[in-house]
Amino acid sequence: MRAGVGRPRSLCSLVRILDVSPRVPHPPERGSCVRIHSLLRELSRRHECIAFSHVRGSRSLLSRSVEQVVHTPSYREIRYLHPITAAVHEASERAWVSAPVTAGTSLRLTRPGMLRALLRWADAVMVEFPWQFGYCWRERRDARLVYASHNVESEKFASYAEVKRPGLTRLPWLMAIRRMEENAVRRADLVLAVSGEDRNRFIDLYDVAPAKVVEVPNGADTARYAPTDPDTRAAAKKALGLPNRPTVFFAGANVPPNQAGRDWVYRLAEHEPGFTFLVVGLVAEPRVEGSLVCVGRVADIRAYLAAADLAVVPIAHGGGTKIKLFESVSAGLPTVAFDEAIRGTVFRDGEHLLIAEKNVVSLAHALRRLVDEPSLGTQLSRSGRELVVARYDWRSSGAKLERALLDLHGINGGAEREHEDSSTGRHF
């Protein structure tokens, strides 16, 4: 057994953390990538982190390479590009709602030497999603294996199927997804769940010990996404060429729950011409039509959040928790959402946001109410932001993950951390 692995050791000796993902986490253009990058950034304050991810796209069909991207002195990303991996991933994504469920197969076909070396280097291996867990489980040596879930995938994809693929053709995929997830949950040394609700589902579905499953909530960078004052908002609207009227923000990657949410926004734009409905992200192609403004992919959503007066999260499908919800509320936007969009959180209707029924009339009524009752919007903005700062900031989620990893390695980090902070003045 490698020295220092599997027994208590000084906190001064860093935990070597490898994260294995079928997606490139940076730039974080979808919720799962935001989570991966944010948590690794937090862990890298005290530990050495390497992310191993897969590059896909047209150029990956023609060449093979390994690219290294350094994010911080102790957090770097290895981007693996291979024609076989790209072809297998893209085929599975076309076949089943943009999910790389065959990512493990691509690893078995290509057996990247870099990944095998990293699996032997790491003290802890966090495997994002269940697709590649089996490969990492077979190839790792002494490292503790962590299943880093983003949803209860078997239930999420059943929900996706309601949106995109009704009928019996979905059943083989759903059965395969459940088998992969069950193997990951049962074989892992530690399971990360994004909410208490997901944690309980893993325990109940797969009959695992409660102590093995730890909640590490999704969240927002509350320093990055902060409230905007009226003058800044007016200037942001002008800079983006938006009319001076109430602007409603919606953002999302191009996945089925967001596509359904986008369609609700389209209906709202037809129903409520007195608002501007601002849609940001790959969920919609750039276009301007009436009160609808779709901008497509952007490098930084903060300028669009700064221009918005309100946010809407009409999401009724999918799993996990909604990072777009945390970011909008963190930015101080009074928010209207469907009840399903707050699943797994402690947001409360009328205290932190407004819940609407799943129809255009209810959504529009809630938005108009926030405009007509500015004191209500101010109250929701303040209380919602306070909740995210207190409970759903990535710093606190990163600290929970760090504690779980230290416990997994038998390291008592609390007292040593206080001592190191006070004696050296180092900022973690």
Could you tell me whether strands 16-20 and 48-54 are parallel, antiparallel, or unpaired per DSSP bridges?
parallel
Of residues 58 and 302, more confidently modeled:
302
Are 270 and 345 members of one domain? yes
Res. 107: pLDDT tops 70: yes
**Domain match, 144 and 254 both:** no
Same domain (yes/no): 109, 85: yes
205 with 98, same domain: the answer is yes
CATH number of the domain enclosing 342: 3.40.50.2000
Q: Is the pLDDT of residue 425 over 50?
A: no
Q: Quick one: pLDDT at residue 13?
A: 46
Inter-residue contact 314 to 337 (CB < 8 Å): yes
Quick: pLDDT tens for 108-140. Answer: 878 888 999 999 999 999 999 999 999 999 998
> What pLDDT does residue 208 have?
96
The CB density around residue 382, as the number of other CB atoms within 10 Å, is: 14
In a domain, 138, yes or no: yes
Alpha-carbon distance 102 to 96, whole Å? 10
| pLDDT band at 159; cut points 50, 70, 90 | confident
Q: What is the pLDDT of residues 17-60, one digit of tens each?
A: 999 998 888 888 788 999 999 999 999 999 999 999 987 654 54
**Percent of the chain, pLDDT > 70?**
86
Position 291 in a domain = yes
Q: Average pLDDT for residues 235-240, to the nearest whole number?
A: 97
Residue 21: closest CA among 146, 186, 195? 146
Examine residue 310 and state whether it is found in any structural domain, yes or no: yes
- Name which of 386, 402, 420, 408 is nearest 222 in CA terms: 386
Structural domain includes residue 116: yes
Do residues 128 and 292 make contact, with C-beta atoms less than 8 angstroms apart? no
pLDDT > 90: what percent of the chain? 70
Q: What is the mean pLDDT of residues 61-85?
A: 84
Give CA–CA dist 48/31, Å, rounded: 23
Asked if the structure places residue 415 within a domain, the reply is yes
Q: Would you tell me how many other CB atoms lie within 10 Å of the CB of residue 42?
A: 23
Which DSSP state fits 405? H
Q: According to the model, what pLDDT value does residue 161 have?
A: 66
- Same domain assignment for residues 266 and 132: no
Mean pLDDT of the chain: 87
pLDDT grade for 61, boundaries at 50, 70 and 90: low
Q: What is the mean pLDDT of residues 162-172?
A: 59
Statement to judge: residues 403 and 385 lie in one domain = no
| Strands 247-251 vs 213-215: parallel, antiparallel or unpaired | unpaired
Is 185 found in the same domain as 301?
Answer: no
Q: How far apart are the first and last CA of the chain?
A: 30
Distance of CA 166 to the CA centre of its chain: 26
Contact between 190 and 408 (Cβ < 8 Å): yes
Distance CA 211, CA 359 (A): 41
pLDDT in tens, 185-232: 999 999 999 999 999 999 999 999 999 999 999 999 999 999 999 999
- Tell whether 158 and 37 lie within a shared domain: yes
Look at residue 4 and tell me if it is in a domain: no
Total structural domains within the chain:
2
Whether 150 and 204 map to the same domain: the answer is yes
Residue 151 lies in a domain: yes
What's the pLDDT score for residue 175?
85
Q: Quick one: average pLDDT of 346-369?
A: 98
Same domain, 274 and 416: no
pLDDT at 416 over 70: no
Q: Is residue 28 part of a domain?
A: yes
126 compared with 415, residue with greater pLDDT: 126
214, 114: one domain: yes
Domain containing 257: what range?
Answer: 230-391
Residues 164, 237: one domain?
no
Mean pLDDT within 288-300: 95
* pLDDT for residue 245: 96
